[in-house]
Structures are given as C-alpha cells and as structure tokens.
Amino acid sequence: MTASTGVTLVPESVCQLRPQGVKYVRLNGQAPAATLYRDALHPYSKGLLGSFPALRGARRELAGIPGSPPDLAGMPSGCSFHPRCPRAFEPCSSAIPVLGRPDTPDGAGRSVACWLHPAGQTVG
C-alpha cells in the first residue's frame, strides 16, 4: 500500500490461515489513496477510515465499526458486511454485489462492490 499508487481495502481481512489451507475474502473496492480518503464509497471503507486517528490536522472523535467480523467458515449471505453496515438495505442481505466501476464522475479510476453504488461496468 503506497500513497502514490493507491490503496486497496478488503472486507474484514485479506485471508485467514486454516489447517486445510487459506480462505480468501472478496475485494470491496479499490481507488487511488487521495480519492479513497476524500470520498470512500463502501461503508466498510468509511468505517475503517473513521476508526483510526488522522496523521495531520485537528483531533477528531474515532468511530469504530460495530459488532465483530464474521466467521470466515460461516460467512453471511449477500454482502459479507451487511450485518454490521449502517446503510444496509434489502439486496445487501440476499445478493453479493459485483466489483465494478461506479457510476460517479471519477468512476473510471476506482472500483467498488456495494449495492449503494451499482456498477456501471464490471471489473475483473
């Protein structure tokens, strides 16, 4: 992760080692660092950004992400973040959002997997 090339955030953790191997978790979005810090689209990304102190500027109150990460052996249906998401609505619990370029002015330079920002074009 570098400020010059961008930041990639993934829900909960990149992987978890288990006796039978490695279980991977879906990517929730990708954007250049400046774009992500200015305007994170996925609620999990926003939660992460709100949970650690700013390196510069005034102090602010930290807001953690409520609840506990899901057990990777028993992931929830739909978006894996929906049980803890403050903005979850019906499709979040029943369908997995696809990673795609959001229909936003800067959408060509980022991707997100969230029903709040339906993909204008799928990625990957």
pLDDT digits (tens, 9 = 90+) for 52-63: 888 888 888 888
Domains in the chain: how many in total? 1
pLDDT value of position 34: 86
Enter the tokens of residue 110: 């980022």
pLDDT value of position 103: 79
Q: What range defines the domain where residue 97 resides?
A: 7-55+62-122
- Is residue 27, in this structure, part of any structural domain at all? yes
CA distance 62 to 115: 26
pLDDT value of position 27: 81
pLDDT value of position 25: 61
- Is residue 36, in this structure, part of any structural domain at all? yes
- Is residue 2, in this structure, part of any structural domain at all? no
- Is residue 80, in this structure, part of any structural domain at all? yes
pLDDT value of position 5: 46
Using an 8 Å Cβ cutoff, are 122 and 98 in contact?
A: yes
Residue spans of the chain under pLDDT 50: 1-5, 7-23
Strands (E), the chain: 7-9, 15-18, 21-24, 29-31, 100-102, 111-112, 119-122
pLDDT value of position 23: 46
Enter the tokens of residue 94: 């029943």
- Is residue 16, in this structure, part of any structural domain at all? yes
pLDDT value of position 86: 93
- Is residue 48, in this structure, part of any structural domain at all? yes
Is the dihedral angle over the CA atoms 50, 52, 98, 31 positive or is it negative? positive
Using an 8 Å Cβ cutoff, are 6 and 36 in contact?
A: yes
pLDDT value of position 81: 92
